[in-house]
Structure 1
Amino acid sequence: MTGLVIRILTCDETDDGEVCDAEYGGDADMPSLDALRSEAAENGWRHLEGYGDFCPDHS
């Protein structure tokens, strides 16, 4: 049996009460969540400690 970890960020913002469906990631070679957040920041994502991760539309 093989286990696989795939890290994905989801946007923690809502629009009119609906959770944003934006996601970033999905690369099985991503070594850590910090590495994923660094890469996502280069693509307009933002992480606020204690609040979550936010897509380009909500950052």
Structure 2
Amino acid sequence: MKYTGDLYSLNGGLPNEALCLNSENGKWEVYYSERGVKSQLEKFDSVEEACKYFYIEILEML
């Protein structure tokens, strides 16, 4: 299975067509960034919950 680091961002931001993990105002966000827009935004209270969700989502993308 081949993939590139362009599929995701662990620093948030708005990269094009990437799954993102971000800390915002004491909460954790996981969202898909496309053309400068956050979509499918999910918010979590803990980094553990956010990482678990991020992991599941990234596996589905592969």
Shorter-chain TM-score category?
A: 0.3 to 0.5
Q: Bigger relative contact order, structure 1 or 2, given CA contacts below 8 A and separation 6+?
A: 1
Q: Which has the higher helix share?
A: 2
Larger Rg: 1
Q: Which has the higher strand share?
A: 2
